[in-house]
Chains A and B, each alone.
Chain A
């Protein structure tokens, strides 16, 4: 990579760093929503996790260079995410089914 390209990378990393700090601040603020507004716990969880996913995307896309990776890496990650979703949802579905029996 050329020096020019690297300068572009550095400017990008700086921006991502600022966005991540803003995201962290917003996540902390979202957690206080439940203290000031009644019954907004679900809303706070939704906002908090959405910010976490955006922050995660920023780290993966920029610092881990997933925005410009080879196909092989994307296939590995797609397969992993498929199994991760199975892992996350099968127990949850089982639990819901289990509870509906009562």
Chain B
């Protein structure tokens, strides 16, 4: 069943003394809203209508469901509510990457588009989800030499982000980009050599079920001796490796098709029965494909064998929670999401739209809407591109994307160039010396933590590129009254939850200048560079 959830109204006992201000602010922002043009189904609310949620709730929701809130989107969510925002976003047309013609170093146009879409695109939730999927099911331009392959891959994820996981898994399997990255393309079912195991291993280990049998709450099942139970053996890997034989790249129109065709990324891989292994193949949970099968129906059966494994819901569900909401979801939260994965309420398994809805509207995702209900382990470190994008959006950046990828590079998240199939960081990274998962902390080190702050410096005080402009006029306009400025910064950047000690410290620093611009800059710089902001909660 899809949960419907009513966000809590701000309680009177809240310690936040500036609630009145938010309400005033939200009316002002609602008036200024001008963001619905690209979302045709958006219900427009009448001017002056009571907002459905506070600016704080809207901003916090947007931290999870977009690349970051700004005044306009806060007003939008206040107008239509969380459910309304989700339905708008589910039907918003997908940003699509331009197919480049050149090879080699020409990944730059794609990387620029990534930042353009993130800062200015209307399909914010789709982008967040497709990017999350790209970090679970990984290909990398480090190996895929043709930018067209990456562009088509990202467009496929954009397309499938709100579809069914089964469709996604099949599309991934036959994608020539993946076929090239993990060597299923031209994997020959020959008798004299072993089939390539690369895709077989990683589709199981990383893209669908993981190494250990899971309970529905995401915790490992244990055997009688308290040890985890493997989901598969080397024999299973070899079984799938044999299934994934016989596929080659689609021929360029007008050329002769043959097994062993050179990598071509325009269209799904094509089957060659003659190069398909003829033996029987062991799949998961003891299921076997008989010998002499048909290459296409066997592939479908193998994909379904994976898709129907009970691990998929908790394995994929938990990772999507980690990307969107919190690094350490409770077992109950994972269970609720996995149940929706298993059945969307209409008997359908793998409905990603339902899964995303369940993740974002879950009580555990929403409990921080009332800051007094936040748990100490809630939230997650914004990964570098999320930190960048949220900051860019908070200062209303218009950019062509130039140079932004280099900043991300120095934060170890060069877009589309993951160092390995294990992504820029793994989902199970535990912060040393704690019992907490903090996946993004794997790339938060001496260098990258400085690089984050220096990015904020260059954005606010320097120049990113000559086609990148920020607009902080609203902050400057408020800066005469330091409290007013900090209220605005707090709502737009920290969903109104900037702690009092932080606020006091920043206020002191702002008092050192009378320049309204310098004040606004310093307020944004200190907030965006703080751990309190970098850690979304």
Q: Do A and B bind each other?
A: no
- Mark A residues whose CB is within 8 Å of B: none
